[in-house]
Chains A and B, each alone.
Chain A
Amino acid sequence: MNSRAFLEELKALLLSRDGMFWARLAIATGQTTEFNQLFQLCSLRKKAHLYKVVSPGQPASTLRLAILGGYSVYPLHELVEHLCEVQRTPVELWLGDYDNYVSEIMDESSELYAFKPQIVLLLPAESRCKYSGRLTDPVATQQAEGTKTAESVLELACRVNEKTGAGVILTNFMLPARHDLGAYRNRTLGSDWMFRKWVNMELGLKAPSSIRICDVEFLASRMGNIQASDPRGWFETKQLGSPTMLVELAREVAHLIASLKRPPKKVLVLDLDNTLWGGVVADDGLEGIELGDTSARGEAFKAFQKYIVSLKQRGVLLAVCSKNDFNKAAEPFEKHPEMILRMSDIVNFKANWEPKSENIRRMATELNLGLDSFVFVDDNPAEIDIVRQFAPGVTTILLGPDPSEYVTQLQDCRLFEPGSITAEDVERTNQYRAEVERKALESSMTDMDSYLESLVMEGQISEFTTVDAPRLSQLINKSNQFNLTTRRRSEADVLAIMNDPEFVGFSVRLKDRFGDHGLISIVIGHVQGFNLEIDTWLMSCRVLKRQVEELVVNEFMRLAQIRGCTKVLGLYLPTPKNEMVRDLYTKMGFTLTVDQPDRREFERDVADFRATPTKIRITQKSYEQRRSNDQVANRF
C-alpha cells in the first residue's frame, strides 16, 4: 500500500475513532523510512490521543527515558517517542540541553537524576572526538588519545548507570563522508576517519554489559555517509545527522529499547520446496532440485542453508514445516550431497498435509514454547497468510522472488539478535575455543604425518551416481591444474559412462574437522582386456598433499583387481596448465614407458601392489553394496 493511501485510511479511522487505527498505524510506521512520512504519522498519533481513540489490548507500562548529549535532541525525541509507542513500549521523556550532558551527569542534583530514568540515551559530541595533535605524531600517541577519548565517554555512561541503575544506550561516532586527506587518510590515526574508527572500536570492545552501543557508525555507513551527514542541519539546529539519519537512529534506539523487554526468537520454522532448494522435490525428484554449486540458483539456496546453520550455531532451534509426503521431504536431508542442513540439525520435522498453522501449534506444544518464540519462513503467500490467521503470535517472513536475497532477508529481520549475555558468552567461548585449537594445531605441527593425523580426515569414495552427474561434469570441465588428461565430458557423457561396462568411475568427497570440502576428485578408468587405463584423473588443488592422491591410487588398483586386470596404465597429456602432475605417476610408483613431448605413459602391475596407508578414514568405497538407508544418511 502506498503511503498516501495509507494516510487517507488512517485519517478515516481516526475520524471514526476506530480502535483499528493503532494496528494500522504500527504497520504504516514499520514501512516508513522517510522523515516526512514519519512526521505525518507522528501527527496522526497525537491527534488520536486528542480524539481519545482507544487502543485495544492491555495498556503497556511506560518507561522513563532520558535523552542527552552533544546535539539538539529535538526533533529526534519526537521520532523516538512515536516509534516506542507504536511498538508498545511507550516512553516518558526527559530531554537534556544541547551539549550539557557532562554537567548533567556529573551534577547529582541535576534534573536528570530527579527524573529517575530507567533508560538513558547518551549521544556524546562528535566535536570532542578529534585528535588534538598532529597527523605526523607517533601512532602510539594518537592511539593513546583515542583510547582515552573512548574511556572518558564510557566513564560518563558508567557513572549515570551506577547513579540511576538505568540501562544506558550509548551512540558511537559517524565517520566523515568526504575525501579530505585522500590516500593519506588511513595512514594516520590523527585523521578524523581513523581516529573515530579507533574510538568506536574501543567503545564497542570495552563497554560493560550494562551499556548498549547504538552503532551510529554502522547505521550511517549502511545508508551512505554522504546521505547521513548534514552540515547545514548541524550549523542551524545542532542536528546529529540528516533527517533520514535521524529516522534510522530513532528506529535503532526504539529497537534497542524493545529488545530490553523482549527476548529474541527461539525457533526458525522452514518451508522446504523453493525455500531450502529450488523446485519441488516430489515432482522434480532428488536429482531435479536446484541445490549446490552447479548453478547460480543452486548456489543461492546452498548459501541460504549455510546461513541457517550459522543461526543454529548461535542457538536458534531449526524446524521444518512442509506440505509434503514425509519420505519425499526427508530424502534430500538424507541423500542429497549438496544439502548443508541434515536431519540432525532439525529439532522438529513436520511434513504432512495438515495446515501449517496446525503443525506449528503442535510444535509449540511439543517443544514447550510459546507461539511468540516462533518465526515461520515460506515463499508462498497463502501459507504465510494461514499461519498469520490461525497461529497468531508467530512471526512470519514471506520470502521474495529471488533466492539470492533470502539470506539478506533473514539478516535484516532483526529477530535473532543475541540478547542475553549468558547465551552469547557460551557461544563466544565455543568459537574462541575452536579458533584457539586451530591455531595451536598450526603452530604445533612438527611433521606432516602428525598434521594429517590431527585433521581427522574422512573420505567417501562413490561410484558415479545420477544425483552427482551435474557436479561430476562440472568439475571435469573446469579442472585444469591437477588434471592428467584434461578430457572434458558433458553430463550426458558421464551418464553414458555410468552405463558402460567397459568403464569404471568414482569420485571422492573429503571432510576434516574444520569442514566439508565436498566432491574433490574424479577418476575414470577404461577396462581394455587385462589393462585398466586411467582415462581421467583430476583433483581439486585445495586438497593437494592430503594423501588423497594415494587414496585414489589405492582405489583404482583395487578396482583393477576386482575387474581382473593385471596392469594399470597411466597417461599424462601435457597442457599449459597441468605441469604440476607431470611426474605424479612416477611418484606413485609407476614406471615410465613412453616419454614424448605430447604424451607420457606409465604402467604398474596389479599383482605386487600393496595399498599405501593414509590418514584418511574411508567411510565408503565405490561399487560396494550400501548396507542400509540409515548408514547412507550417516555417511553424508
Chain B
Amino acid sequence: MTRLQTVFDDVFLEPVKLSPQLTAKDVPEWTSLAHISLLLSVEKEFGIRFRVGEVEKMQNIGEFVDLILERLKEH
C-alpha cells in the first residue's frame, strides 16, 4: 500500500489519499490518460504484468491491491 501510494503521488499532481474503498470516480485527475500512466507505473514499480481484462474488473483500490499481491506471488 505504501509503495502504491508513492506511485500515485508520482502520477497525480494533487495528493490522493489511498484507501481500499477509493475508486477512479473519486479522483478528478484520473482520466483515460492517467489510467494508462498509472498502470504502466504500477507494472514498472512492482515488476509485474497484468493479464488482459483483469484490471477493468477492479471495483476499487482494495481489489487492485489484492490483484497486485496475487501477481507478485507468482514471482
A binds B: yes
Q: Are B52 and A243 in contact, with the CB atoms below 8 A?
A: no
- Which residues in A have their C-beta under 8 angstroms from that of B13? 11, 43-44, 47
Give complex CA distance A291, B51 in Å: 56
Residues 34-45 of B, flagged 1 when their CB comes within 8 A of A and 0 if not, give 101100110000
Please report the C-alpha to C-alpha distance between residue A78 and residue B33 in the assembled complex, in whole angstroms: 7
Are B40 and A243 closer than 8 Å at their CB atoms?
yes
Of B32, B36, B52, which is within 8 A of A235 by CB?
A: B52
B interface SS class: helix
Query: Is there contact, CB below 8 Å, between B52 and A36?
Result: no
Given the contacts A35-B40, A235-B52, A235-B53, A40 and B11 also touching, CB distance less than 8 Å: yes
B36 touches A243 (CB 8 A): yes
A547-583: CB near B (< 8 Å → 1, else 0) gives 0000000000000000000000000000000000000
Min CB distance, B28 to chain A, in Å? 11
Contact residue among A11, A42, A78, A232 (Cβ-Cβ distance under 8 Å from B52): A232
List chain B residues, Cβ under 8 A from A235. Answer: 52-53
CA distance A11 to B55 in the complex (A): 31
Whether the pair B31, A75 counts as a contact (CB closer than 8 A) is yes
| Across-interface contacts of A42 in B (CB, < 8 A) | 33
Contact A36 B33 (CB under 8 A): no
- B-side contacts of A231, CB under 8 Å: 52
Instruction: Say yes or no for A307: interface residue by CB 8 A criterion.
Output: no
Question: Contact: B56 with A39, CB < 8 Å?
Answer: no
Assuming A36-B40, A36-B41, A47-B13, is B33 touching A75 (CB within 8 A)?
yes
Q: Which residues of chain B from 9 to 39 have a CB within 8 Å of any chain A CB?
A: 10-13, 29, 31-34, 36-37
Are A43 and B53 in touch, CB under 8 angstroms? no
Q: Which residues of A contact B50 (CB under 8 A)?
A: 232
Answer yes or no: A590 CB below 8 A from chain B CBs: no
The residue in B32, B53, B55 that gathers the most chain A C-beta atoms within 10 A of its C-beta is: B32
Tell me, yes or no, whether A437 is within 8 Å of chain B by CB.
Answer: no
In the complex, what distance in Å separates the CA atom of A243 from the CA atom of B39? 11
Sample 15 A-B pairs with CB under 8 A, ordered by A number.
A35-B36, A36-B11, A36-B40, A39-B11, A39-B33, A39-B37, A42-B33, A43-B29, A43-B34, A75-B32, A75-B36, A78-B33, A235-B53, A236-B52, A236-B55
List 9 tightest A-B contacts by C-beta distance, closest first. Answer: A75-B33, A39-B37, A74-B32, A78-B33, A75-B32, A232-B52, A235-B52, A36-B37, A39-B33
11 other A-B residue contacts (CB within 8 Å) besides A35-B36, A78-B33 = A36-B11, A39-B34, A39-B36, A39-B37, A40-B10, A40-B11, A42-B33, A43-B34, A74-B33, A78-B31, A236-B56
